[in-house]
Structure 1
Amino acid sequence: MTSPAHPNTDKHQRGGPRGIQSIEVGGALLTALVHHGRPLALKDLAREAAMAPAKAHPYLVSFIKLGLVEQEAVSGRYGLGPLALQLGLISLQQYDPVRLATPRIEELAMQLGHTVAIAVWGNRGPTIVRVAEAPSPVHISMRHGTVMGLRGTASGRLFAAHLPTDLVLSALAAEAPQQAAAAPKIDAQFAALLALARKDGLASAHDGIVLGVSALAAPVFDDQGRIALSLTAIGPSGNFDLNLHGPIALALKSASTDLSRQLGWREPAQS
């Protein structure tokens, strides 16, 4: 005779740990406020959370009592409250971008079968600080501390596309000290590459510094919209997909967007 199953066993097996549905429903209102980044009228907020205004209102009353939401006295619109802002600031203080991104590059390397690295802006330019080797790594200098050139590498082009011009010019001058007599400049061809990197959300390099090696790099932004680091995948040109809609590009963009959001970045509204 079999013993009766625990009453919650099937539920846990089917859908994982059981939560509190009312909290999850109400959370849609907070998610809508975060997504829009500005106070909303009740009808607009309810619509964004896919619920009727009459259903949304009691949740908002409770959130106001907790300090998660506040209501503007004149317009009556609802926005994030002081507790929500404090939680956001504490969350940002706990996140170190490199520490946050390190486990992601390990996952990406296994998923893509290519080496994936984290680069940050150092005093000599884009500098590799973490490397996750692929199962069959490319034999190329991707050690910690490697400085990537601005013109010929995906990481370099990515930082050049998102950093102030004076920093880029200074780094270009440091790369070619023998040409220091002539002021460095961003020529038309290089400017076009940087504009493309900003437009596509990715920078690429095909047979750049090393013949037979290609790379794609995606930016991770902080809460001020500044580039914090790059996620760079690198592999043999023969089997490295540079297609902007290919699996490598999509995986890098998805990971970089997710990390940026965790750091407090908000995607600009589409015009």
Structure 2
Amino acid sequence: MARSPAPPAPPEADAETEARSASRGIQSIEVGARLLLALVHLGQRAPLKDLAREADMSPAKAHPYLVSFGKVGLIAQDEASGHYGLGPLALQMGLISLQQVDPIRLASAELPALAREIGQTVGIAIWGNRGPTFVRLEEGPTAVHVNMRHGTVVSVKGTASGRLFAAHMPREQVLAALSAEAGHAVKRLDPALEAALPGIRAQHFASIVDGTVRGVTAIAAPVFDGFGTMVAALTAIGPSATLSPDIAGPAARCLRASAEALSARLGARPDGRAQPGA
């Protein structure tokens, strides 16, 4: 006698099963990925024992993973030293990822929440044909009276964003922007600006009080891509009475954290240098 087919599972059961499947991963892949993360963290080729230690596993456990990763091109072993590094497939994946991400789109999505958290107007500046150029602005709850809109080109030495770019852009481009700003050829940086650039570069932070507008303070933090290039400046602008220029202040900490998170999503290392192989 033929069996009757089992009744279909109720929709609730199907949804529950699907949710469990979606949250369940493959543990061996997650374990092996620790070796890839270890290579990224070390930033250079490394022997088996160092990679295993960085990934918190024994060399005997790590070796089979490295062999499998090598077969698919995620890992490559140097024939002379025996050290392991990222392979051609990892490089291709990284390059494709860099091509797919848009720093302006990513940063723009963060601006509304950033303006609310800092309590000031925030914006994104890029290096355009004529120098630092704001491409996005998000007004905060604190009114600030500055003549700025999308597409506004700002001063190199008189704004936080401009100083930040001056610290990271090629010198000839900075001088060209300063020449356009001054209306005559500028062959060297102003001594005060020159003296400020090493600190700005080291701290990944710039601030200015009473720059182009009296009573207004601006702070800025750089966004880097995976090649170590500064691609944007996250900037907060507000009345000097409510926006502190101090790097240790809450607004600066928030701005820098947001810039560092965006840089990480673009493939940058925490120190702003290029990724290995980039």
Q: TM-score range by the shorter chain?
A: 0.7 to 0.9
Q: Are the aligned partners of 2:215 and 2:239 in contact in 1 as well (CA < 8 Å)?
A: yes
1:201 maps to which of 200, 204, 228? 204
What residue in structure 1 maps to residue 3 of structure 2?
none
Change (3 A) 1:140 1:17: farther
1:139 maps to which of 136, 145, 153? 145
User: 1:209-236: CA deviations, max 9, x gaps?
Assistant: 1112111111112333222111111111
Query: What's the % identity of the aligned pairs?
Result: 56
What residue in structure 2 maps to residue 230 of structure 1?
233
1:130 maps to which of 128, 131, 136? 136
Question: Partners of 1:139 and 1:253 in 2: how far apart?
Answer: 24
Deviation at 1:183, TM superposition (A): 4.1
Q: Are the aligned partners of 1:172 and 1:184 in contact in 2 as well (CA < 8 Å)?
A: no
Question: Partners of 1:207 and 1:102 in 2: how far apart?
Answer: 26
2:261 maps to which of 241, 253, 258? 258
SS at match of 1:239: coil
SS at match of 1:260: helix
Which runs of structure 2 are paired with 1:214-229 in the superposition (5 Å)? 214-229=217-232
Q: Which TM-score applies when normalising by structure 2?
A: 0.84
What residue in structure 2 maps to residue 118 of structure 1?
124
Question: Partners of 2:104 and 2:35 in 1: how far apart?
Answer: 31
Deviation at 1:33, TM superposition (A): 1.0
User: Does residue 1:242 correspond to 2:245, yes or no?
Assistant: yes
What residue in structure 1 maps to residue 7 of structure 2?
none
Give the AA of the match of 1:237. S
User: 1:92-116: CA deviations, max 9, x gaps?
Assistant: 1101221222112233112212111
Question: Partners of 1:227 and 1:32 in 2: how far apart?
Answer: 25
Larger gyration radius, structure 1 or structure 2: 2
2:61 maps to which of 26, 30, 55? 55
Deviation at 1:91, TM superposition (A): 0.4
Q: Are the aligned partners of 1:64 and 1:70 in contact in 2 as well (CA < 8 Å)?
A: yes
Question: Partners of 1:220 and 1:172 in 2: how far apart?
Answer: 22
Question: Partners of 2:148 and 2:38 in 1: how far apart?
Answer: 41
Deviation at 1:195, TM superposition (A): 2.1
2:37 maps to which of 19, 24, 31? 31
Q: Which TM-score applies when normalising by structure 1?
A: 0.86
Change (3 A) 1:137 1:55: farther
What residue in structure 2 maps to residue 106 of structure 1?
112
Question: Partners of 2:123 and 2:186 in 1: how far apart?
Answer: 32
Unaligned runs of 5+ in 2: 1-11
Change (3 A) 1:172 1:75: same
Give the AA of the match of 1:59. Y
